[in-house]
A and B are shown apart, each in its own frame.
Chain A
Amino acid sequence: MLEVKNISFSINQNRLFQNLSFNLSKGQAIHVKGSNGSGKSSLLRILLGISSASKGEVIWDEEIGKVFLGHKNVLKNHLSVADNLHLHGLDVAHPEVRSILKDLNLDQKAELLVGNLSYGQQKKLALVRIFLNQSSVIILDEPCVGLDDQTRRLITTFLTTELGKNKSIIYTSHIPLELPSSEVIIGIL
């Protein structure tokens, strides 16, 4: 599904990582670990094709759908929760959407402006888009930041279910998620 061959990345002569190689197959989760500023987010951006590696190759199987949640939540502050979901092609009245909103305690907030939600609530809302996406690869950059224990457990349950559907996951997190044994850890120093 994904083959990463000897990639290196530097910013302004500062080498973040070098000769990193790994593969991602169906139903597998990769946890990218590392200290702050070690290049975890940069690695994800390279895998997504947003940034380019200084050296090496990233090869995806053709036609692989990817969904990504990074540090930016892809939400419009001046729009309501329902309008933001609409922008992502989700109808707040749909039973599946309603059920997830309820799990995330956002079901009563559909008409509220996103700008009036707390950071954690915004992060939860951003997760709705990820939870309902049909892409084969889920890429998350620090998905647990600002979230309560209940939501963290919900993310773990969701990701475990998605792995069971043969989807693949790559995530960075300082808080490890308890995903099935297929987890591979790549440490970036």
Chain B
Amino acid sequence: MFDLFKLELFKLRKKLRAWLGPILVFLLITISFPLTVELASDDLKNVFYSILWIASLLTVMVSVEGIFLEDYEDGTLENFSVANDSLFSMVLIKIFIYWLLIGIPISLLGTFFSVSMTGEMSSFYIALPSMLISTYIFINLFALGNSLSLNKGSVLGALITMPLLFPILILLGKIVLNANFGFEISNLLLLMLGVLLLIIVFIPFIISFIIRTHLE
């Protein structure tokens, strides 16, 4: 399993445009947003979070676009299936590595920008856990969409998956709302973590089954 982790990490690390590109897109969105609005506005603080969630969602969508495509087209997945290796483990590790190289950096960048924008350290405790958890969920769900449309184009996959992400966006909105009113946000974060814990096992299992069907 560790060997597989090292190989998958090596594969993604060598494909700069697949992980650095999306991070730069995220950086551009978060930097350009304050330039387009009135900086002194009080609403800016609240709106900024919405931009942050949408930017992370779009960044993940773009980055996960080819998560299985290359391996499918060059025969890696077929070869993996022949070698009796566990497709489930491969999917699980692949998703984790995408989170490691894309999810964590954009979560850290997003947290940095939210603290800079609001000027309050409390933003750190809102943005960091929310983004770390939500990006992992986004990657899982977009990976599911991409596996469904493996040989039909990734836009279709993203369209199928998008409605599944709405509850997470609502939760993220609630977290900001609660924080603004001084309410507890840990319960909402725990709820999101609970969703992630379910997804983390079930989605790779479903994806591995879908990939097997595609290989047939």
Q: In the complex, what's the smallest C-beta–C-beta distance from B208 to chain A, in angstroms?
A: 14
Measured CA separation A137–B115 after assembly (Å): 59
| B14-47 contacts to A (CB < 8 Å) | 14-15
State which of A17-25, A73-81, A98-106, A180-188 sits at the interface with chain B: A73-81
Q: In the complex, what's the smallest C-beta–C-beta distance from A45 to chain B, in angstroms?
A: 8
Q: Kindly report which residue of chain A lies nearest to residue B16, judged by CB atoms.
A: A78
Contacts of A72 in B (CB 8 A): 73-75, 78
Is A70 an interface residue, CB under 8 A from the partner? yes
Q: B14, B74, B83, B215: which contacts A83 (Cβ < 8 A)?
A: B14
Q: Which of A66, A73, A76 has the most CB of B within 10 A?
A: A76
Q: In the complex, what's the smallest C-beta–C-beta distance from A43 to chain B, in angstroms?
A: 14
Contacts of B120 in A (CB 8 A): none
Q: Kindly report which residue of chain A lies nearest to residue B76, judged by CB atoms.
A: A74
Is A173 an interface residue, CB under 8 A from the partner? no
Measured CA separation A52–B81 after assembly (Å): 14
Measured CA separation A13–B37 after assembly (Å): 62
Q: B14, B73, B75, B215: which contacts A79 (Cβ < 8 A)?
A: B14
B82:A86 contact, CB within 8 angstroms = no
User: Given A72-B74, A73-B75, A75-B74, does the pair A49, B14 have CB atoms closer than 8 Å?
Assistant: no
**Binary interface profile of A, 36-61, with partner B (CB < 8 Å = 1, else 0)?**
00000000000011111000000000
Q: Kindly report which residue of chain A lies nearest to residue B79, judged by CB atoms.
A: A74
Measured CA separation A50–B14 after assembly (Å): 29
Contacts of A48 in B (CB 8 A): 81-82
Contacts of B15 in A (CB 8 A): 78
A86:B74 contact, CB within 8 angstroms = no
Is A68 an interface residue, CB under 8 A from the partner? yes
B82:A50 contact, CB within 8 angstroms = yes
Contacts of B184 in A (CB 8 A): none
Measured CA separation A86–B6 after assembly (Å): 11
Measured CA separation A52–B10 after assembly (Å): 33
B216:A74 contact, CB within 8 angstroms = no
What are 16 A-B residue pairs whose CB atoms fall within 8 Å in the complex? A48-B82, A49-B82, A68-B82, A70-B75, A72-B74, A72-B78, A73-B74, A74-B75, A74-B79, A76-B11, A76-B74, A78-B15, A79-B14, A83-B14, A87-B11, A89-B3
**Interface residues, chain B, with chain A CB atoms under 8 Å away:** 3, 7, 10-11, 14-15, 70, 73-76, 78-79, 81-83, 215-216
Nearest 10 A/B pairs, CB to CB: A72-B75, A74-B75, A68-B82, A74-B79, A48-B82, A51-B216, A50-B215, A74-B76, A72-B74, A79-B14
